[in-house]
Amino acid sequence: MIKKISLFVVLLVVSLSVTASAAVGALVLDGSTTVGPIAKTFAAYFTKKYGVRVTVSESGSGNGAKSLINGSCTIATMSRAMKAAEIAAARQKGVNPVASVVALDGLAMVVHPANPVRSLTKAQISGIYRGTITNWREVGGPNARIVVLQRESNSGTEESFKELVIGKGVQITGSAETQSSNGSVKSRVNSTLPAIGFLGHGFVDGSVKVIAVNGVFPTVATVKNGSYPVSRPLYFYTNGQPAGLVKQFVDLPNSAEGKRMITELGFINR
């Protein structure tokens, strides 16, 4: 009996260690859903070119940072810079996070295509998200209560939005609905007439209407020259200065091929 159990345990341990060791030698990416499309396209390209297996998970920027700290991914994709607390936690575990900018992204404010509002100021958007402006009438729209959509707390997009538009330490109203991805924000805005939400620039398509912020629409030019107020860099984070395969992957945005892929996905080259 005991012999059988110990044999089983040995088998289990062996099989586990085999699966664990199989991941070594491949690249593992984890993090932002916004950077996800770039990471996936790069991964496919990389696998084709170098024959290296690249795994991409999209669990939110916060999770990406966590994975890098725990050593469960080689590259963390993030749509915001690492926070001081995260860097401190990484140092404590002997991980030295190094950032490299992949691309630039404008956060597009989106509404339902039938919404007549064309432009909002940053102050108006901030008011809507803080709950001081609750009706579209107050910002030049029809008489309808505003359905405010935000992202969940482990989203880098959410944190960038808070930092860029509302300001640090200010709370978003409790009646704001929480969505778990760019895609679900888009589909909710598309199906809800009085909704407002924000999306990474690369996710915008004809199903939603982009409005101008302070009179400026998010385009390649306005994001690049900084005149669009709600834009941010996207990052690859590695443990220490990248070397070897990791370096080749992180340097992809510098190559002509990488730049083409980024543009095709609707992001903006830095």
The residue ranges that bind other proteins (CB under 8 A) are: 1, 59-60, 62-63, 66, 69, 83, 85-86, 89, 92, 144-145, 147, 152-154, 159, 169, 171, 174-180, 184, 187-188, 191-195
At its nearest, how many Å lie between other proteins and the CB of residue 264?
Answer: 28
State the amino acid at position 53 in one-letter form. R
> In the beta sheet, which residues pair with residue 111?
196, 209
Helix/strand/coil for 149: strand
Q: How far is the CB of 8 from other proteins (least distance, A)?
A: 14
Shorter beta-carbon distance to other proteins: residue 105 or 159 = 159
Q: Can you state the percent helix, strand and coil of the chain, rounding each to 5?
A: 45, 25, 35
Q: How far is the CB of 232 from other proteins (least distance, A)?
A: 17
> Nearer to other proteins by C-beta: 111 or 262?
111
Nearer to other proteins, 177 or 264 (CB): 177
Cβ partners under 8 Å of residue 92, min gap 6: none
Residue nearer to other proteins on the CB measure, 101 or 144 = 144
Do the beta carbons of residue 194 and residue 154 sit within 8 Å? no
Q: Based on CB atoms, which residue is closest to other proteins, 10 or 144?
A: 144
Shortest gap between Cβ of 194 and other proteins (angstroms)? 6
Q: Least Å distance between CB 171 and other proteins?
A: 5
- The letter for the amino acid at 79 is S
Q: Show the DSSP H helices in the chain as ranges.
A: 2-22, 36-50, 61-70, 84-92, 122-130, 156-161, 182-191, 220-224, 244-250, 256-264
